[in-house]
A and B are shown apart, each in its own frame.
Chain A
């Protein structure tokens, strides 16, 4: 079960049922010692912001931009990659329905069920750019009257997977997995940027 010296190394998780008591367990997995391991997780966020202010007459113009780029990689082991072996009581129960014992199943080497995490890639990251822009003016018409107006533009670029076969999306209509780089599905799952997220502002103030 240790098919390499890295991701599938170490002691598999053994869970042996005991009648009327809690399981006898050893090894590593999420259930027994909260070890989602091996786990490799990387997140990066880049952010660039600029603001400009220009005063002209009774106008105070402001405009600016907020540019962000996010990267996420997570290679988990929700089920231990060298394997999780469960030995249940029921597998050795008698024909009359009397209780069996997980330890008997363990001594027989009769695994009731087996689970493991397997992945063919360890670099299936996602990235997403987000871009925000604004412009506004504060216009002091008179000592008593001030207007504020402006516009904000939000651009959420669709999340992108790392490359061909490194991500997919479930088609909820057919139940099929749409894999990036296959059958005309691009790295964004063919989602498009909405360029119409515009937020106008208008305000006035009388003193």
Chain B
């Protein structure tokens, strides 16, 4: 009987526990290395075919890009978190899922060309590839922040 009482109390505790997990939490306080401010020069979606084509050509298009958003964490484990590792894993992960379970993991990527605000030196442009976030869709001329997170990836956020 006492165990029944204990079970009731355990159930009570369990029902009141709550966890919220989000892969793309822009409102989370995490360590930051630096933040650059700039403007979106261009923003476009990247197709799966385009990724495969670029991989086959030795990453001529996306080879110099920075990894943004959550894809660096999801697919680029370990020290080799370069663009080829991450994008290769995106393609590989999708194909593996297609073969083994008949499921497709949809990873929507966007390519953002960012012109960082001119300082005493010359203006610089960066290409950033990050996962598409429907809560924050980028357009040309948007004022943005390039947040360099401590885990070696960047994230593009709107300034306002």
A binds B: no
